[in-house]
Amino acid sequence: MIFAIETSCDETSAAVVQGGKILSNIVSSQTQVHAEYGGVVPELATREHLHNLPTVVRRALDTAGVQASDLSAVAATRGPGLPNALLAGYNCGQGLAFALRVSFTGIHHHEAHLYSPWVTGAVADFDAFEPNVSLIVSGGHTILVHVRAELDHAVLGSTLDDAAGECFDKTAKLIGLPYPGGPALDRLASEGDATAYDFPRPLLREAGDDFSFAGLKTSVRYFLERHQDVLADQQRLRNLCASVQAAIVEVLVTKTVRAAKRLGVGCVTASGGVTCNSQLRRDLRVACDNAGLRLRMAERNLCTDNAAMIGILSERKILAGVAATALDSEVLPSWSL
């Protein structure tokens, strides 16, 4: 039975996992704390993690109905992420492993994202695993990965500047929506006309698998400088949201499916906060169906950051015989996938 901790950014999370089953997955989000600053404030995130960890750890054990003494291993996110935020959860995990005399595994946050789409209804189905192209798309990252086999992957491309979630959030901020604006923009877009305004699709026609979203955000800013009146008209505002969302989603979907076809895999997976976006979910489904690709999108509660995915991956690593991580190891804030 594995205890897992995740504190790489602004979610304090702890989970208990056993035999591919998620017995508990407690997530304490700090969104409210950071909202008034319009983004994550690292120092505040660390303080919140330190404050929340004892309660979150206790709740994860209680919800699973287990005692600390039942645990056979501990895992925690080692990187990438905010250095001191990582340190809070990593140290907590190391302390637990030391006190319980069990093994400890430091997990790569993005590697964990790669396997969360294989979980359905709190149960991981790795018997169904097949080589895939995986899209990790969140507030901090946009990464396309070729997962050749379990625990064997190669990064195909990533964003050269802003992440897709950042583009959603910065666009939302420009039109006056509260942080994080992605979900609110999604709601407004659902009643808008995506063909109303034409925004660029950055790097869509380029051969590589990298992304770039900073220019798109800038073109929204220029658009608003020229069309201030759009902000005062609810329907045109919805149309603007739908048009920007369509540009982001088209790039994500097209490049993901194109990479899957090029590499000859039969499956596409997606995870990360932006995978909650309704148009992305819809369009990726249609594009994969049309291309004859099986699609696995992480369930909504596993799209955003959580400790269950850390526990699920650490269990697979233990089963595969991957060595434990030293109890005096350091966090790796810039760890590449």
Q: Listing from the earlier edge strand, what are the strands of the sheet with 294-297?
A: 152-158, 142-149, 132-137, 267-271, 294-297
Task: Specify the residue, 186 or 209, whose C-beta has the smaller distance to ligand KG4.
Answer: 186
Stretch that binds Zn ion, among 123-131, 134-142, 158-166, 241-249 (CB under 5 A): 134-142
Q: What binding mask, one character per residue, do residues 233-272 give for ligand KG4 by CB under 6 A, x or -? A: ---------------------------------------x
Residue in the shown chain whose Cβ atom is closest to ligand KG4: 273
Stretch that binds ligand KG4, among 71-79, 82-90, 138-146, 230-238 (CB under 6 A): 138-146
182 binds, among Zn ion, ligand KG4, none (CB under 5 to 8 A by kind): ligand KG4
**H/E segment holding residue 241:** helix 234-263
x-or-dash string of contact with ligand KG4, 279-318, rule CB under 6 A? -------------------------xx-------------
- Residue 219 vs 271, nearer CB to Zn ion: 271
Task: List % helix, strand, coil for the chain (3-state, nearest 5).
Answer: 50, 20, 30
- Determine the length of the chain: 337
Pick between residue 138 and residue 243 the one whose CB is nearest to Zn ion: 138
Between 118 and 213, CB nearer to ligand KG4: 213
| Number of CB atoms found within 10 A of residue 234's CB | 11
Report whether 46 contacts 88 (CB < 8 A).
Answer: yes
CA 25 to chain centre: 15
Interaction between residue 111 and ligand KG4 (CB under 6 A): no
49 in Cβ contact with 88 (< 8 Å): yes
Q: Which residues contact 13 (CB under 8 A, 6 or more apart)?
A: 5, 6, 7, 25, 26, 27, 28, 56, 305, 306, 307, 308
- 129-164 burial string, b = 16+ CB within 10 Å, else e? bebbbbbbbbbbbbbbbbbeebeebeebbbbebbbb
Nearer to Zn ion, 305 or 315 (CB): 305
305 contacts Zn ion (rule: CB under 5 A): yes
Q: Which of residues 148-207 bind ligand KG4 (CB under 6 A)?
A: 165, 168-169, 180, 182-183, 186
Q: Which does 140 bind (CB under 5 to 8 A by kind): ligand KG4, Zn ion, none?
A: ligand KG4
Tell me which residues touch ligand KG4 (CB under 6 A).
9, 138-140, 165, 168-169, 180, 182-183, 186, 272-274, 276-277, 304-305
